[in-house]
Amino acid sequence: MNQRTQRGATLVEAAVGLMLFFTLILGVLEFARAFNVYQTLVNAAREGARLSVAPIPGTSTLPTNTDVENKTKEFLAMSSVTGSTVVVNQTLIGPTVGGASTVYTQVNVSVPYRSFLIGGNTFTMSASARMRNETN
């Protein structure tokens, strides 16, 4: 009878251990997925800001806000990130250097992120990038 009790205890220990192991593995996967989406947002904001501050080749004209938004959303779509919101501000006034004021562009990107581990809760991830316009 003692041996039969031991087999039951071993089975319960294995079940608890496996449950903890799989929870840990799912947690690592969830964190990696969230980090990947965040890094994609950072890169998209950076690409949008880079596009916004460089003049169109052969001119001194900067791309429009719509051009920057479309290019940023296109970058996100290539990484299968959907439902994004992109806000572009091309007229941020920076510090005055040598008597001339500097103008910056800031690109803010946000996307709803749905966690598959924490009960399917949704929260907003966001990133931004700021660069100085090269035409001033």
pLDDT higher than 60, residue 136: no
Per-residue pLDDT tens digits for 37-83: 999 999 999 999 999 988 878 787 888 899 999 999 999 999 989 88
127 SS3 class: strand
Q: Report the share of the chain in percent with pLDDT over 70.
A: 93
Q: How far apart are CA 105 and CA 130, in angstroms?
A: 6
Q: Cβ distance 90 to 65 under 8 Å?
A: yes
pLDDT for the residue numbered 24? 92
Domain boundaries, given as residue ranges, for the chain = 2-132
Residue 96, token pair as written in the block: 């005055």
More confident residue, 60 or 31: 31
Distances (CA, A) of 65 to 21, 48, 121, 128: 48, 10, 32, 15
Select from 37, 58, 55, 59 the least CA-distant residue to 105: 55
pTM (2 d.p.):
0.79
Place of tokens 């920057």: 68
Per-residue pLDDT tens digits for 81-131: 988 989 999 888 877 777 777 888 999 999 999 887 777 788 899 999 999
